[in-house]
Structure 1
Amino acid sequence: MALYSTVETSKQMLLSTFEYDLPVLPEIRANVDSVEFTNDSAEPLIPIVLKAHESFAALKALEGIIAVELCKKRFGESKDVKAVVNCNHAALFPTMSFLSTVDGIPKWDPKMKNKIKDTDLNQVYSNVYRRMLTNIYRTKDERFYHLHASLDATPTFEALGLPAYDEMRNERIAAQKAIEASTQQLTSDSIDRIIRDIKQAGSLCLTREEFLASSHGRHISSRPLFELVHLESTSPTLKLSPQGPNILSGVKILDLTRVIAGPVISRTLAEYGAQVVRVTSHNLPDQSYYAVDFNFGKRTINLDLKSSEGRRAFEKLLEEVDVIVDGYRPGAIARLGYGPDDLLKRFAGARGFVYVKESCYGEGGEWSDRPGWQQIADSVSGVSWANGRALGLEEPVAPPFPLADFGAGELGCIATLNALHHRLTRGGSYYTSVSLVKYNDWLMSLGPYPEELWKTMASAHGLDNSRKLTRQSNFDEVGLAAITSMRRQYPQLWKDPDLMQEANNTPFGDVKTQSPVVRIEPYKTASNGWLNVTRPAGYDSLAEWK
């Protein structure tokens, strides 16, 4: 086998991002050479047959290209400015939550629950029976369906004729058996109708070929990696001080997101010095562990947008906002009166804005109104089937790590930087959108690793016909097995001070997390890009910009 190069493959993948009319200005396309890839490796780090390692290096490079242009636009740099992307660092990006620690304690340690605020209001993480709803189950017609507990498992349990809580089966295998006994009484199409009728997340596990044969698959595969709509042209160009000090200093971002993909967007934008206020509510459940990673650079407040007091505070923040990141179900924020059309009326061209929408299925297409999560995107797009077959199984298996979540999150950061570049250059307001399914569609389109390389990788990670991982292996099991194997094989990465950084005396404790991947000196660094250390949701009391 010829020597494999993650750098060369990443460069090719970067060029592929410009296919299907990527909505960027000409100077972005012309600036591909402004990024430098470092840390080549003969074997990719992430134990999956798909080129996830290189996909994140390529996307981080695209982020860097646009950041370089923003840098020049803001600071008037005439000298060469380059973005540097460490490919191995980029590959670790989607493993963030498996690497981060609080006072030396990792995510999967039971003691972690004492370090974080409990926002699991509906016990979808703490109750094993309810947690096991999120898994792949066999159906009556011998197909596979991925159910999801979402943030409240009760509607799906009840729709399947199962008790919402079952303490007699509050153990993994017993819970899975009980749930599969129900799914095997129904065809996959029947389950899908049930899930759609109750407006919950779930998907039939499709192969890549089946996805592309669907109307939604055909639509998504023909679209660029992110969408951009020019909402209005009358508002003036965005004005940013040439004193900075960072590329997004002074840019005000409202983060209306939960769990992974949405918060990743604003966390990465915060790396460039943006002011980010994350708005959550005491009334809404969340996965609080992810706040340890994703609230870096942010202030966090709780507001009830259904109350008059909460709306007044929120609308005060809107008076100065530059970017709104929306990660809720399609249409949820618009129903509260704060969607892009509502903001157009509110600002009436007096000031521009960028509205960023992150979703599972993307814009347009048959399934665009459906809610979804990482595992659902993996199932519907063919990723789970590709992973299962690469493991020597004839069943879909969840991939290691929340790849689609981080992929969509990174695309959201890129899309936001791009829309801000439009505002700086042309003025106006913009709607931009990204989806988990589109990231997966692009990843699948790039094909698997060469067979000989994958055999080497699978053997090194203990995946060659081991049968250790199956469709019944849940998200945490697959991720923990992968990160354990990666740490065993590449111990030097965990000793590299450029890849991780520590924040001491945060509200959580001493937090170790990944440092920013893209380096553009001196305008973005691992130490001075973020304005705030991480904190729990609702930590700050004042709903105002600082």
Structure 2
Amino acid sequence: MDARVWTTLTGETLAEDAVEVTGPESVLPGIFRVEEAATSSIAAATLAAGELLRVRGIEPGRVSVDTRHAAASFHSEQYIRVDGEPVPFSAPLSGDYRANDGWVRLHCTYPRHVAAVCWGLGVPATRAAFEKVVAAKSKYEVESAVIGAGGAAAVMRSREEWLAHKQGQASSALPIAEIRPLGPSEPRRLFESDRPMGGVRVLELTHVIAGPVAGRVLAAHGATVLHVGSANLPTVPPLAVDTGMGKRSAYVDLESEAGRARLRKLIARADVVLQGFRPGSLVAKGFSPETLAELHPGIVVADLSAYGWEGPWARRRGFDSLVQMASGIADEGGKAAGLDVPGPLPVQALDHATGWLTAAAIMTALRRAMTEGGSWHVRTSLAGTGQWLDSLGRKEPGPAGFDGTEWLEDVGSQLGRLTRVRMPGVLPGANPQWTEATHVPGSDPASWNNTGV
């Protein structure tokens, strides 16, 4: 495990025997040390859960993580099955496009992103039309036009170009996770429980992968997690099924005053608010971290972003694949493979690692709220995680076609029989586990109980 993660999160030195890592060093293709990032982020979250157990008077025991199980967990959305069948989803217009001077990636998972590309480039929504217009422009023209239209895109930059860019410099200067005080309050007391997060209420306002993975980890350690989405927003079905483990799911329309009033009621009784929407989106609706701390002193607020909370791109939309393109990861991966195309990581490691690191930071902040008091603000970013992954160095690529089926299990759910990756990370004092499987999206009341109150 990379001990720097634990020191950054807690300010504490990690004991040499605190974590046992099993399995081979390299199990995935590619030169980046994704396995080490996976193992270290999972270990950090499991250790943080163990420290909460210790505060409760329970000896956590020695944490252990297997590199193969960690790799499977970082690929969990690819293994999810309902009644033995993959969960269908298609985003045919997302991808890497060759401009007249290099590569640019267009993110077209959601209809609004497709519309932004069409508006920004003045083309119909077909791949042939996208390819033709991109090929006639410079990569920076394409990126600027799509971003200006409210879409999501990223030019493939080298590592050197990224570090020379103002956003690259800003992102590289940020810690892998930041935990800062929001305001004073008396030390918290948690409900009695034999699980690290037992009795802790987590309000999750997230989408895609990183944020939902963080909520999924907290649920596995005993938290009551309520995921709040909107019936008016599209979802990515495989991701929603995969990351919904252990959570209840409700819809609230935050565009309405009634919906915002409902959210304020939920926040007033929440211990943690976890949000991963575009930076500034919730603040514009009246839900800044400082406001949340006023609604519930002692709360932990966690914000995830793509490019970090400083720099000219701090409010820019971003996704794992785009950050890989912008920060030099895709460029180096392609060159290492001897190809003149982007070479992405073998899994969406920035998303998954950021999710686990966010969960670790939340549990560390809760420990501070219990021992020191105060409200706390957690901030993480995909770009910060990418910078950390880069700092781990390079490795010899593992074999192609990694098989993680050893770590799968079948469970019943509202959706049918689910096949999923088991929760990784061994914590002898209270092993993580989900007490229920994914719910139908929006099927639960927007309340902390099942009565709707």
Place the TM-score, normalised by the shorter chain, in its bin: over 0.9
Which deviates the most, 268-277 or 513-522?
513-522
Which residue does 1:163 correspond to in 2? Answer: 124
CA contact (8 A) 1:34 1:68 kept: no
- In the aligned structure 1, how far is the partner of 2:282 from the partner of 2:247? 21
| Deviation readout 1:147-179 (Å, 9 max, x if unpaired) | 111422112112111113x4xxxxxxxx2x431
Which residue does 2:3 correspond to in 1? Answer: 15
SS in 1 for 2:157: coil
| Deviation readout 1:22-71 (Å, 9 max, x if unpaired) | 24243xx2445322222x32x62211211101211111122222222111
- In the aligned structure 2, how far is the partner of 1:180 from the partner of 1:387? 23
Alpha carbons of 1:231 and 1:386: their partners in 2 closer, same or farther (altered >3 Å)?
A: same
Number of aligned residues: 448
Which residue does 1:139 correspond to in 2? Answer: 99
Runs of at least 4 residues of structure 1 off by over 6 A?
A: none
| Deviation readout 1:223-269 (Å, 9 max, x if unpaired) | 22111221112x1112113x412110010000101111111010011
CA contact (8 A) 1:208 1:381 kept: yes
The answer to whether structure 1 residue 33 and structure 2 residue 21 are counterparts is: no
Alpha carbons of 1:80 and 1:314: their partners in 2 closer, same or farther (altered >3 Å)?
A: closer
* Corresponding letter in the other structure for 1:90: A
* Corresponding letter in the other structure for 1:210: E
CA contact (8 A) 1:231 1:431 kept: yes
Query: Which structure has the larger Rg over C-alpha atoms?
Result: 1
Which residue does 1:56 correspond to in 2? Answer: 38
- In the aligned structure 2, how far is the partner of 1:61 from the partner of 1:441? 19
The answer to whether structure 1 residue 81 and structure 2 residue 75 are counterparts is: no
The answer to whether structure 1 residue 236 and structure 2 residue 196 are counterparts is: no
- In the aligned structure 2, how far is the partner of 1:371 from the partner of 1:542? 27
Shift of 1:516: 1.5
The answer to whether structure 1 residue 275 and structure 2 residue 224 are counterparts is: yes
| Pick aligned residue for 1:494 from 400, 405, 413 | 405
- In the aligned structure 1, how far is the partner of 2:14 from the partner of 2:325? 36
| Deviation readout 1:437-457 (Å, 9 max, x if unpaired) | 1111111222221xxx33xx3
- In the aligned structure 1, how far is the partner of 2:14 from the partner of 2:177? 19
Which residue does 1:302 correspond to in 2? Answer: 251
- In the aligned structure 2, how far is the partner of 1:59 from the partner of 1:32? 16
| Deviation readout 1:258-305 (Å, 9 max, x if unpaired) | 111111010011000000000011111111221221111111011112
CA contact (8 A) 2:409 2:422 kept: yes
- In the aligned structure 1, how far is the partner of 2:6 from the partner of 2:226? 32
The answer to whether structure 1 residue 385 and structure 2 residue 331 are counterparts is: yes
Shift of 1:521: 2.3
- In the aligned structure 2, how far is the partner of 1:244 from the partner of 1:66? 16
What are the equivalent positions in structure 2 for 1:357-376 lying under 5 Å apart?
357-376=303-322
| Deviation readout 1:296-345 (Å, 9 max, x if unpaired) | 11110111122233233322212210111111111111111122122133
Which residue does 1:469 correspond to in 2? Answer: none
CA contact (8 A) 2:60 2:427 kept: no
| Pick aligned residue for 2:426 from 508, 515, 519 | 519
The answer to whether structure 1 residue 204 and structure 2 residue 155 are counterparts is: yes
SS in 1 for 2:386: helix
Shift of 1:398: 2.8
| Pick aligned residue for 1:324 from 270, 273, 286 | 273
* Corresponding letter in the other structure for 1:521: P
The answer to whether structure 1 residue 148 and structure 2 residue 136 are counterparts is: no
Which deviates the most, 178-187 or 200-209?
178-187
What are the equivalent positions in structure 2 for 1:343-358 lying under 5 Å apart?
343-347=292-296, 351-358=297-304
CA contact (8 A) 1:150 1:201 kept: no
The answer to whether structure 1 residue 336 and structure 2 residue 240 are counterparts is: no
- In the aligned structure 1, how far is the partner of 2:447 from the partner of 2:316? 32
- In the aligned structure 1, how far is the partner of 2:248 from the partner of 2:150? 32
Give unpaired runs (5+ residues) of structure 2: none
Give the fraction of aligned pairs with identical amino acids, expressed as a percent: 29
CA contact (8 A) 1:299 1:532 kept: no
Shift of 1:372: 0.6
Which deviates the most, 298-307 or 209-218?
209-218
* Corresponding letter in the other structure for 1:516: M
- In the aligned structure 1, how far is the partner of 2:392 from the partner of 2:118? 37
Give unpaired runs (5+ residues) of structure 1: 1-10, 114-124, 167-174, 462-484, 488-492
The answer to whether structure 1 residue 213 and structure 2 residue 168 are counterparts is: no
* Corresponding letter in the other structure for 2:188: L
SS in 1 for 2:301: strand
The answer to whether structure 1 residue 71 and structure 2 residue 25 are counterparts is: no
* Corresponding letter in the other structure for 2:285: L
CA contact (8 A) 2:134 2:142 kept: yes
* Corresponding letter in the other structure for 2:262: A
Alpha carbons of 1:326 and 1:444: their partners in 2 closer, same or farther (altered >3 Å)?
A: same
* Corresponding letter in the other structure for 1:486: F
* Corresponding letter in the other structure for 1:71: L
RMSD of equivalent CA atoms: 1.9
* Corresponding letter in the other structure for 1:145: V
CA contact (8 A) 1:317 1:545 kept: no
- In the aligned structure 2, how far is the partner of 1:150 from the partner of 1:194? 18
What are the equivalent positions in structure 2 for 1:421-500 lying under 5 Å apart?
421-449=367-395, 453-454=396-397, 457=398, 460-461=399-400, 485-487=401-403, 494-495=405-406, 499-500=407-408
The answer to whether structure 1 residue 536 and structure 2 residue 447 are counterparts is: no
* Corresponding letter in the other structure for 2:21: F
CA contact (8 A) 1:237 1:424 kept: yes
- In the aligned structure 2, how far is the partner of 1:73 from the partner of 1:16? 23
| Pick aligned residue for 2:347 from 374, 398, 401 | 401
* Corresponding letter in the other structure for 2:173: S
CA contact (8 A) 1:35 1:64 kept: no
CA contact (8 A) 1:276 1:299 kept: yes
CA contact (8 A) 1:54 1:91 kept: no
Which residue does 1:250 correspond to in 2? Answer: 199
CA contact (8 A) 2:97 2:106 kept: yes
CA contact (8 A) 1:314 1:543 kept: no
- In the aligned structure 2, how far is the partner of 1:433 from the partner of 1:84? 26
CA contact (8 A) 2:95 2:105 kept: yes
Alpha carbons of 1:25 and 1:445: their partners in 2 closer, same or farther (altered >3 Å)?
A: closer
TM-score, scaled to structure 1: 0.78
- In the aligned structure 2, how far is the partner of 1:270 from the partner of 1:393? 41
Alpha carbons of 1:524 and 1:308: their partners in 2 closer, same or farther (altered >3 Å)?
A: same
Shift of 1:357: 0.7
Name the structure, 1 or 2, with higher relative contact order (CA <8 Å, separation 6+): 2
* Corresponding letter in the other structure for 1:298: K
CA contact (8 A) 2:162 2:326 kept: yes
SS in 1 for 2:440: coil
Shift of 1:216: 1.8
CA contact (8 A) 2:350 2:385 kept: yes
Which residue does 1:476 correspond to in 2? Answer: none
